[in-house]
Structure 1
Amino acid sequence: MKESGAHGSPYLLIWIYLVVLALASVAASIVLPKVPAELAIYFLALVKAALVAMYFMHLKVERFFIHSLSLIPLALVLVLFLGVLQDVVFNR
């Protein structure tokens, strides 16, 4: 990625990427049918979350240990998701 600004910080460029991805999410919800739109929006949300984590949370320059610490909340979300999945699927 091309560095921008006096100190080499790409914050403005990343912000522009985030705005474009947000607009793409809105466009997907308008143009695409429901299921493909939801999949596209989820994918774009993951990309936006990765950009925020890498640049605004400075994980791009951290060591692997810090990256592995970010996996703990993801594991907890997976446990919670699997915990309520049965209720969502069978109690409609």
Structure 2
Amino acid sequence: MSQSNLYLVQDEEKATAELRCVYNLQKKIETEIAQGDFSEAKLLAVDILNSLNELEFLRSRKMNQDELSRVVIQLEKQGIVSAMVKWPNE
């Protein structure tokens, strides 16, 4: 399964490491369940959840960047080449 285009270039290495971690933890969970060590399997499941949360965060960074790029392109098509952004309280 290709992960290209799911993450920002600077996040790809971290995403790959997190994915590898998830897959390795899945295998360990299967082993712990087979051995009857459900407490350890639950701890490993928490680690999987943490990795999945990180992957979700990294994916959202890419989606936000893609949306920003689309907005910039739309603005350029409308002839707006620069803008000043102000915070709501300014």
TM bucket normalised to smaller = 0.3 to 0.5
Q: Which has the higher helix share?
A: 1
TM-score by length of 1: 0.44
Please identify the structure whose Cα radius of gyration is greater. 2
